[in-house]
Amino acid sequence: MLQKSRNGKGRSVLVAGGAGFVGSHLCDALLSRGDRVLCVDSFITGSVTNVQPLANHPQFRLIEADICDLRSIDEPVDQIYNLACAASPPQYQADPVHTMMTCVAGTGNLLALAEYHNASFLQASTSEVYGDPAEHPQREDYRGNVSCTGPRACYDEGKRAAEALCFDLVRAGRVDARVARIFNTYGPRMQPHDGRIISNLLVQAITGKPLTIYGSGQQTRSFCFVSDLVAGLMALMNVTPNPQGPVNLGNPGEFTINQLAEMVHAMVPTAARIAYHPLPQDDPQRRRPDISKAKDLLGWEPRVPLAEGLRQTAAWFIATLGTQPVSGKRRAPPSARTRRSNVSIGV
């Protein structure tokens, strides 16, 4: 049932990072539920194109601002989602100090706004807080194995500090804050060149370039389709009582990067061979969420299988890049290490 805000209409919801990949899907979902959405974004990694279709929506408003500088907003809000932070390694490492400040100072500013407006708050944290995990799958009570000095620390440690801020304010009874630990998420509106594994492989396949795999390809990841994640974020924001601890949101299906590349190769007829490159520093070997807590507390679990989500994402990239996959004869298999599956993109 639609929860009403203090003025009796749909809720007023601030989405920081609302012009990004996940944030723009969240804005869509909130608007279709009848909420009013105030999207705050600096466009450092997001794109106005993501929210362009909402420009004339009477319940949507866009403010260009950096959350590190945001001290006030000129209207009351009932809920604040903080998704503002570059999420792909090349992007968050491009200006690591700004990434850290976004996580700490920016989150601090938004928490202050939440306290002032008595708004509920949801922090988009990450599975990166588990680092290169020594426990598998990762449960919320696992404390992680993170380097505080490496090139990923600006993000991993920044997100850990942001969690600490949230729970300090929860313990003090000052903000109703919730923390989602998000695992790899993919779907339409990912940026083609953001350096994430699914966008990398799909764009390379669609443009006929070699599919890049870092390391042996035996490292694993779990991939959640964006509509599933958005449903989880909204469920976590609205559940009562406050879970008072982090909640993993992700798809527990675990795939090696080689398996993912095989699926992409089989799905996109223009896919070329696979090229192996050295593994970057601090790249985790295994990732898979334990989502028991989300299932128990929120009644949430992902619904979209990887093959279906990949198909939708590939179709979106093909439309966006203006490239049609070549039909007809496929090239030779990319490498001895890959096998074909029978997935068909159907676009």
Smallest distance from ligand NAD to CB 78, Å: 20
Q: Report the residue number, 13 or 22, with the smaller CB distance to ligand NAD.
A: 22
- Taking CB under 6 A as the criterion, which residues in 179-238 touch ligand NAD? 182, 184-185
How many residues does the structure list for the chain? 347
Whole-number Å distance between alpha carbons of 303 and 287: 19
Whole-number Å distance between alpha carbons of 160 and 150: 15
Segment interacting with ligand NAD (CB under 6 A) among 16-24, 257-265, 310-318, 333-341 = 16-24
Out of 3, 4, 6, 43, name the contact with ligand NAD by CB under 6 A: 43
Segment interacting with ligand NAD (CB under 6 A) among 30-38, 65-73, 210-218, 293-301 = 65-73
Smallest distance from ligand NAD to CB 130, Å: 11
User: Mask 78-97, x = binds ligand NAD (CB under 6 A)?
Assistant: -----xxxxx----------
Q: Establish if 131 lies at the interface with ligand NAD (CB under 6 A).
A: no
Instruction: Show the DSSP H helices in 95-207 as ranges.
Output: 96-101, 107-117, 153-171, 197-206
Q: Which of 87, 98, 101, 82 is CA-nearest to residue 39?
A: 82
Joined tokens for residue 282? 């601090």
Active-site amino acid positions: 155
User: Mask 165-184, x = binds ligand NAD (CB under 6 A)?
Assistant: -----------------x-x
Smallest distance from ligand NAD to CB 134, Å: 20
Classify 145 as helix, strand or coil.
strand
Strand 36-41 with 120-126, pairing: unpaired
Q: Establish if 20 lies at the interface with ligand NAD (CB under 6 A).
A: yes
- DSSP output for 225-290: EHHHHHHHHHHHHH-SS---S-EEES---EEEHHHHHHHHHHH-TT---EEEEPPPTT--S---B-
Smallest distance from ligand NAD to CB 16, Å: 6
Q: Give residues in contact with ligand NAD (CB under 6 A).
A: 16-17, 19-23, 41-46, 66-68, 83-87, 102, 106, 124, 126, 182, 184-185
